[in-house]
Every structure is written in structure tokens, then in C-alpha cells.
């Protein structure tokens, strides 16, 4: 049951582009739940946890994801499919992992829908680059560490390490770097960051299937990250965090604490902050 509130209606002929969060169904928004309740057809991606679809037993399910890293549906086909479904008068829910406008091509789908005169609603979601780190015990900002954070993709349109990015600029200007889709090219990217002056010993965390039961995190450093990913046998999807924020995990790995493990270091930044000063 949704709390009493004037919840929007998903009308016939509309498409709602909705974020499903990073995995854990508890990280859906109430707007997403409201959408799931009303949808007649759900077009969903690989990163949308199947358990979430079970909350919409009435809805037809259309899979629009990738399998084995290969695009099995091209983006234009997916967008036009949404147009067709809306024109057929369906109540369409386009469900995407995380937030639909964060590295998820939601903007492109929304553009196509608008160009075809289809009315849309955007339902933001909790993005993996923030929540995945939080579930690993890494605050994406912390006053003692960073006043900015840079979200990057490790993958461009052609499937290469993004050449349009000014890696030297990022190395210089980014206090904490949070990378989506970085697994394939992390060796090349870490080498570029080091070549541009980043400390090879800088802490790095790699978290896979974040927020789900099989979440795994390794802590490493910029120099060794690619090798350590391989040694640990980690597979995508993964969020890679580069920066001192990673050190805070020694104190804040709350999932380890829940399993009975003690914090490794209560003051990993060496600040000896008194218990609390506003
Ligand atoms: N729109 C999504 C991102 C889509 S791009 C969002 O806002 O989260 C796909 C990338 O997101 C993956 O390659 C991975 O880098 C990241 N990702 C999504 N879900 C994840 C999860 N549960 N654990 C780790 N990384 C995840």
C-alpha cells in the first residue's frame, strides 16, 4: 500500500521512464512503485532486478537489455518500440537500472518519445554510483576528503575507453572519481591517470552487483586495480571508485559490521576527530 498522497496516474498512451535503482528492491522510489502498480507493459533492461518485476504481476514484460555484453536490441529499435506501444494506447513503463538519466540512454529515449509527440514522465532513480558505494561503506562526499565528485563512464559509444574525455584534466581536477562501465578498460584508464600525475598508491574500490546479496568489493590501488580485478575474478556490473573516500570504508563497512566484524580502523584518515563537533 502506498502512503496517502496524490499519486500520478499512468494514463493510456503515456510512457513513464523510470529508474529502478541499483538492484535491491528496497531502493525503488515510491513513484516507481506507483508506476509498477499501473503499468500494462514494462520494457526493462538487463540491470533491472527480476524481483522488481514481480511487483507488477498484471504487466506484460518486454526485455530490452543486452546479453553477454553484446547489444541484442539496438537503441533506436527500443525507442521506436516505446513509441509504438504508446500509440497503441498502452500504459507503458520503461524501467531502467539506477537512474534513467545517468549513463543509461534515458535522455535519448526521452528525446525520441518527445519527437514523436508521446507524453512522458521521468521518474528518477537511485544511481549505482552513489548507492553502490554507500552499500560498500564509502561516502561519495565527506568534508575531510572531497568537495566535488566526478562521474565518468569507462566506455564510449564505440566500446572504447572514452577518447573524448580529458583524462589529464580529470586526473588534475577530480578529488574522487566514480566510474561506471569501467571494467573493460580500467587498465588503460588507470595508466592514463597515473601518467597525468595521479598517485599510483591512491586507494581504489571496485564493487560488483552492488546492493544485491552477492555484492562484492575489493580494495586496491590505482597501480594494481586491473590486475586485482582479474585476480579476484570480478565481473561487471561494477562501480569503481578512485580516491581517498575509499579509505573511509575501513571504518564504515557497515555490512561487515552487521556480520560481526569489527571496524578495521576507526580513523582511517588519521584525523582523530573528537566524537562529534558539528
Ligand atoms: N543508469 C544506471 C547506470 C547504467 S550504466 C545508474 O544510474 O546506475 C551501467 C553501469 O552501471 C554498469 O556497467 C555499472 O558500472 C553500473 N551499475 C549499475 N548497477 C550496478 C550494480 N548493482 N552494481 C555495480 N555497478 C552497477
Map out the domains of the chain as residue ranges: 15-126, 129-258
The answer to whether 96 is a known catalytic residue is no
Ligand 1 center to 259 CA (angstroms): 25
> What contacts 240, CB < 8 A, 6 or more positions away?
154, 178, 179, 182, 183, 186, 204, 205, 206, 225
The answer to whether 70 is a known catalytic residue is no
| Cell numbers describing residue 67 | 546479453
| Coil, strand or helix at 15 | strand
Q: CA–CA separation, 241 vs 200, rounded Å?
A: 14
For residue 249, how far is the Cα from the chain centroid? 19
Domain covering 129-258 assigned CATH 1.20.1250.20 in the classification: no
Is there a common fold for 15-126 and 129-258? no
What's the longest Cα–Cα distance across the chain? 63
Mutate to test the pocket of ligand 1, among 32, 64, 98 (most ligand atoms within 8 A of CB): 98
Ligand 1 center to 41 CA (angstroms): 23
Mutate to test the pocket of ligand 1, among 18, 32, 47 (most ligand atoms within 8 A of CB): 47
Q: Which residues line ligand 1 (CB under 6 A)?
A: 22-23, 47, 96-99, 102-104, 127-128, 132, 180-181, 207-211, 236-239
Q: Give the chain's radius of gyration (CA, Å).
A: 20
Flag residues of the chain having pLDDT under 50: none
pLDDT of res. 277: 56
pLDDT of res. 158: 86
Helix (H) and strand (E) counts in the chain: 10, 12
| Cell numbers describing residue 111 | 528525446
| Coil, strand or helix at 232 | helix
The answer to whether 66 is a known catalytic residue is yes
Closest Cα partner for 112 from 143, 134, 86, 151?
Answer: 86
Class of domain 15-126: alpha beta
Amino acid at each position: 500500500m502506498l502512503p496517502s498522497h496524490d499519486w500520478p496516474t499512468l494514463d493510456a498512451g503515456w510512457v513513464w521512464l523510470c529508474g529502478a535503482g541499483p538492484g535491491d528492491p528496497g531502493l525503488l522510489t515510491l513513484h516507481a512503485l506507483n508506476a509498477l502498480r499501473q503499468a500494462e507493459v514494462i520494457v526493462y533492461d538487463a540491470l533491472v532486478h527480476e524481483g522488481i518485476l514481480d511487483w507488477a504481476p498484471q504487466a506484460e514484460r518486454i526485455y530490452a537489455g543486452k546479453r553477454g555484453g553484446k547489444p541484442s536490441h539496438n537503441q533506436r529499435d527500443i525507442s521506436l518500440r516505446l513509441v509504438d506501444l504508446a500509440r497503441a494506447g498502452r500504459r507503458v513503463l520503461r524501467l531502467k537500472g539506477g537512474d534513467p538519466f545517468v549513463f543509461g540512454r534515458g535522455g535519448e529515449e526521452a528525446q525520441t518519445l518527445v519527437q514523436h509527440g508521446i507524453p512522458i514522465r521521468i521518474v528518477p532513480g537511485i544511481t549505482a554510483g552513489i548507492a553502490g558505494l554507500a552499500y560498500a561503506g564509502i561516502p561519495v562526499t565527506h568534508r575531510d576528503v572531497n568537495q566535488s565528485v566526478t562521474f565518468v563512464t569507462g566506455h564510449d559509444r564505440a566500446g572504447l575507453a572514452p577518447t573524448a574525455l580529458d583524462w589529464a584534466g580529470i586526473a588534475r581536477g577530480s578529488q574522487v572519481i566514480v566510474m561506471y562501465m569501467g571494467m573493460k578498460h580500467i587498465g588503460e584508464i588507470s595508466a592514463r591517470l597515473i601518467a597525468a600525475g595521479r598517485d599510483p598508491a591512491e586507494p581504489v574500490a571496485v564493487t560488483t552487483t552492488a546492493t544485491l546479496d552477492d555484492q562484492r568489493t575489493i580494495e586496491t590501488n590505482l597501480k594494481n586495480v586491473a590486475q586485482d580485478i582479474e585476480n579476484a575474478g570480478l565481473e561487471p556490473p561494477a562501480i569503481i571508485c578512485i580516491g581517498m573516500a575509499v579509505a573511509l570504508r575501513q571504518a564504515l563497512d557497515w555490512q561487515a559490521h552487521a556480520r560481526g566484524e569489527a571496524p578495521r580502523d576507526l580513523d582511517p584518515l588519521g584525523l582523530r576527530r573528537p566524537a562529534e563537533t558539528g
